Amino acid sequence: MYDTPKAETAVTSNEIKFSANNVDVYYGDTHAIKNVDVQIEANTVTAFIGPSGCGKSTFLRCLNRMNDTIDICRVEGDIRLDGEDIYDKKVDPVQLRAKVGMVFQKPNPFPKSIYDNIAYGPRIHGLAKNKADLDVIVEKSLRRGAIWDEVKDRLHAPGTGLSGGQQQRLCIARAVATEPEVLLMDEPCSALDPIATAQVEELIDELRSQYSVVIVTHSMQQAARVSQKTAFFHLGNLVEFGDTSKIFTNPEDPRTESYITGRIG
Ligand SMILES: Nc1ncnc2c1ncn2[C@@H]1O[C@H](COP(=O)(O)OP(=O)(O)O)[C@@H](O)[C@H]1O
Ligand SMILES: [Mg+2]
């Protein structure tokens, strides 16, 4: 029913980037994430799927402490990146978000030039000693975002003047400019047309060689195309987690089966 060629040929390492244990998230009295355990591997695309409101974005935002910016949100439990507790008092969330980059549903380039969109993070994190260094980082990032050829002759034009698909690849390039280890993407293709979606999906597959990628998607076809691991969330519970090919062909839990066959969600 779903085509999963990449999942079958995938080489997945077993190095664990993120280890989350007993994670609960509340918005006031709303219990949005319920006792979730999950491990995210390096060099792997992990997809979070499930019906609208099941907690995918909430859990994704736990991984780079974006929920810290929501007043009523409370996160409990243990989340480690390379063995280190990311909620420890000594962790600076700004530094954490450079290591764990994020790409949002709607492309959101800064109202600045293409060059400055990419240079912004490296500048604030002091990654370039001089202009020549910065030029190298900008080019490298735009290449990793698979958009260099399209923008190399207009680096000083505004990022907001690009097409939607180009803007999203620019945002991915901006996220990789700070040398992250993990890229979080929350429905990164939902505002894009099918061609731009295919380009971003291809890019995600390339990014896996260097980063661990976690993608929230409401499209099961997309999860099947781009991911090696899939987590199925339902009503705040992580119902099932495993190899994408297994989740889509032979799920263990009846709720997963209902979802992938279109009976819930
Ligand atoms: N900023 C917020 N304030 C209050 N409740 C929220 C907020 N964000 C999400 N929620 C609630 O948390 C639950 C999970 O939402 P969300 O993580 O956005 O789900 P998904 O991404 O799977 O659609 C829902 O009940 C939603 O209404
Ligand atoms: Mg969401």
Instruction: Give the mutation target among 24, 26, 30 for probing the ligand 1 site: most ligand atoms within 8 A of CB.
Output: 30
219 residue type, one letter: S
Instruction: Give the mutation target among 23, 27, 75 for probing the ligand 1 site: most ligand atoms within 8 A of CB.
Output: 27
- CA of 140 from ligand 1 middle (Å) equals 36
> Counting ligands in written order, which one lies closest to the CA of residue 56?
1
- Neighbour tally for 123: CB within 10 Å: 14
Our answer on whether the CB atom of 58 is closer than 6 Å to any ligand 1 atom is: yes
Answer for the pair 35, 216: CB distance below 8 angstroms, yes or no: no
Of the pLDDT bands very low, low, confident and very high (cuts 50, 70, 90), residue 263 is confident
CA distances from 4 to 179, 209, 228, 249 (A): 29, 18, 9, 10
- Single pTM value for the model: 0.93
Nearest to 210 by CA among 12, 14, 44: 44
Q: What is the pLDDT of residue 265?
A: 59
Q: What is the pLDDT of residue 2?
A: 52
Which residues share a beta bridge with 74?
26
Tokens of 107: 């492309």
Q: What is the pLDDT of residue 10?
A: 47
Nearest to 24 by CA among 62, 75, 59, 58: 75
Residue with the smallest CA separation from ligand 1 atom 11 is 32
Q: Does the pLDDT value for residue 9 go beyond 60?
A: no
Q: Does the pLDDT value for residue 11 go beyond 90?
A: no
Our answer on whether the CB atom of 238 is closer than 6 Å to any ligand 1 atom is: no
Answer for the pair 182, 100: CB distance below 8 angstroms, yes or no: yes
CA distances from 167 to 134, 170, 200 (A): 20, 5, 11
Our answer on whether the CB atom of 54 is closer than 6 Å to any ligand 1 atom is: yes
- 101: helix, coil or strand? strand
> How high is the mean pLDDT of the chain?
94
Residue with the smallest CA separation from ligand 1 atom 5 is 27
Q: What angle do CA 175, 176, 179 make, to 5 degrees?
A: 120
The mean per-residue pLDDT over the stretch 117-137 comes to 96
Backbone angles phi, psi at 14, to 5 degrees: -105, 10
Answer for the pair 186, 226: CB distance below 8 angstroms, yes or no: no
